[in-house]
Amino acid sequence: FQAEDGIRDCLLSRGLGDVYKRQGIISAFYLAVALDRAFFIDYKSPFPLTETLVPKTMRWDYRVKRKCTTTNGFRSKENEIFMVDSESPDQVLRRIEQLHERGTSTIQLHVNRYYVGILLWMVPSSLKLSERAAAAFESGMIRKLDHYCPGRNAIENNAGYTFSFAFTQLFDFAPEVKDRALHMIQELALGADAEFIAVHIRIGGRPKKSRRVVGWIDPKRHEIEDAATFFDCADSKRRNAGSISKSSPIVLFSDSEELKKAPIVAARGVRVVKSTHISHTDRSWSFSKQSMRRGNVDTFAELYLMSRASCIVGSSSTYSGLASSLTFPPRECFSYFGNCTESRWDFWTQTERSVLR
């Protein structure tokens, strides 16, 4: 399988965020495993993926041929499958199965969501798509394990667990990203292994360009006034979660310089990385390649740092959910904005529910 963005390179940008590509990659990987196919990642825009994520336990970075797609994906080559933002994947899944059974040597898969991966890990008793989904996708990974590991112990098949498992097998953060994260830790006055609670507040809208902000246009997510609710949730976690020290500092991650400078941040004793170059991996653009590259590295460095938090209070953004799933096993302490009382909130199951209904 070839998992590629295939969007920005052809000047057809639809704002697919970097986190959506991670979802698609994990789905494509599990599909390749379930169908016994080779797996490659072709990712060169806006920068090569290997500048921020590198292969860990398997090679996925072999060079493959690239070809731009047309604006109408259904007019593309027969072996090219488009599942970008698809809300009804069943017909596309059947098409993949047909290509596979026909012996098609290469299937190019464009997918930006994790519902395919979730479906492959569903246990038979929980399947609700038996009349819609192709047979190859019903419990594909479960049947794979039953065949090769008949004496295995039961594993957690929740979406956060399976996403985390694949990510930690496929990827490690690049040395430059880890080095930048270390500098952020020093700026935050944290020890290398210090506990902290991460709060991610994505304001959205149109961030003002500055020396440290490469602007972009984004849907509005939150108001700066919402910060109080986020910080209250973090305080609640610090008081009530037995596994978290009551002295753990709160660290704010945000796409808004205005929020980072807001009086409430200092008043609540919240720490921030002031040196971050804020950008969106897909949507930001600047004549300065150096500025864009710095923003790309800083985005992944903050993601890496968030994933090391003892607890994450997430925003209306997939970035938060991704951060909770980058260690194995995944972080148990994760709360979505407005769901602070939930002790364990599986981000991937909740956000893909409309597709897997």
pLDDT band, residue 218 (cuts 50/70/90): confident
Read off the pLDDT of each residue in 325-354 and give the average, rounded to a whole number. Answer: 77
Most confident listed range (127-131, 218-222, 233-237, 279-283): 233-237
Burial grade of 52 (CB within 10 A; 0-12, 13-18, 19 or more): buried
Q: CB 39: neighbour CB atoms within 10 A?
A: 20
Residue 30, amino acid: Y
**Given this model, what pLDDT does residue 295 score?**
85
Two tokens, residue 193: 């292994």
246 has pLDDT over 80: yes
Most confident listed range (17-21, 27-31, 149-153, 283-287): 27-31
Q: Which residue has the higher pLDDT, 277 or 53?
A: 53
Q: Which residue has the higher pLDDT, 256 or 129?
A: 256
Q: Would you list the DSSP string of 154-198?
A: P----HHHHHHHHHHHHEEE-HHHHHHHHHHHHHTT--TT---EE
Q: Which residue has the higher pLDDT, 100 or 307?
A: 307
Tens of pLDDT, residues 147-156: 666 665 656 6
Instruction: Please provide the average confidence, as pLDDT, over all residues in the chain.
Output: 77
| 144 three-state secondary structure | helix
Burial grade of 66 (CB within 10 A; 0-12, 13-18, 19 or more): middle
pLDDT band, residue 171 (cuts 50/70/90): very high
**Given this model, what pLDDT does residue 2 score?**
42
**Given this model, what pLDDT does residue 97 score?**
80
Read off the pLDDT of each residue in 255-269 and give the average, rounded to a whole number. Answer: 93
* Of 128-132, 137-141, 267-271, 292-296, the least confident: 128-132
8 has pLDDT over 50: no
**Given this model, what pLDDT does residue 130 score?**
44
298 has pLDDT over 80: yes
Q: Which residue has the higher pLDDT, 5 or 28?
A: 28
**Residue 218 DSSP code:** B
**Given this model, what pLDDT does residue 68 score?**
45
Share of the chain above pLDDT 70, in %: 72
